[in-house]
Homo-oligomer: A and B are copies of this chain.
């Protein structure tokens, strides 16, 4: 979700200028790699915007296990709990590279929403879009088997800051098998096996903490699979009522 997309009609303003608008009370800071921006119990009172770098957001389970939920890059914003009026963020946000990050007090931003109807409409549309995607992700956990979810997760991350485009139309995705497993919602061994199968089909190359693939070829493969496949949930076929 890009700030540029929310604010394109503020002609004559750069993103920096908008954020520097004193009425928003935004503050800018440069942050090293591997710095925690917030923890699950951090009070949710600000929205975060990324000017440069990369931030990953993790959900934390009751036993401390983690799930990579989102990868954000330049122009993206996060910290949805602040907009929801939640007490704390509930997640952990960590910089993956040296980053430049803006924080905006959420009460100021909400006041700005009331003043700027164009900003408002775009924010509502972006929130609704993210909600649709989140609902689809939850449905996928039921309708699709682990390998199908692996392919969908690779495609999703190929559109984030973790991916670098290549000249041949492919992307290089910087991610470990463990992080990918967290995002897919499966054991690392299961995901590694799925990656091996994709490699054997020449749909993917693997390297140290990196994966290379052509998103268009992978998407076509996925469609063929779904057209022929038999989605299962927890190993049992699901019937229509």
Contact = CB atoms under 8 A, between A and B. Distances in A.
A141 B85 CA distance: 24
Interface residues of A, number: 69
Contacts of A239: 65, 178, 188
A236 B142 contact: no
The SS class assigned to the A binding surface is helix
A135 B134 contact: yes
Contacts of A84: 125, 128-129, 131-132
Contact of A142 (B67, B179, B189, B238): B67
A131 to B, nearest CB: 5
Interface string A164-195: 00000000000010110110011111100000
Interface stretch (A8-16, A18-26, A111-119, A212-220): A111-119
A170 to B, nearest CB: 26
A34 to B, nearest CB: 12
Interface string A88-125: 00100000000000000000001001110110110111
B113 A114 contact: no
Contacts of A176: 241
Which of A61, A90, A135, A182 is most buried by chain B, counting CB atoms within 10 A of its CB?
Answer: A135
Interface string A219-241: 00000001101110111111111
Contacts of A229: 62-63
Contact of A234 (B90, B125, B190): B190
Contacts of A230: 63
18 contacts: A59-B136, A59-B143, A61-B144, A62-B227, A80-B132, A83-B125, A86-B129, A114-B117, A114-B121, A124-B124, A131-B134, A138-B185, A141-B141, A182-B241, A186-B234, A186-B236, A187-B238, A189-B236
Interface of A: 59, 61-67, 69, 80-81, 83-86, 90, 110, 113-115, 117-118, 120-121, 123-125, 127-132, 134-139, 141-144, 146, 176, 178-179, 181-182, 185-190, 226-227, 229-231, 233-241
Given A66-B241, A67-B143, 16 more contacts: A63-B143, A65-B143, A65-B240, A83-B124, A90-B132, A90-B136, A115-B117, A120-B120, A127-B128, A131-B131, A131-B134, A134-B134, A178-B239, A179-B241, A187-B236, A188-B239
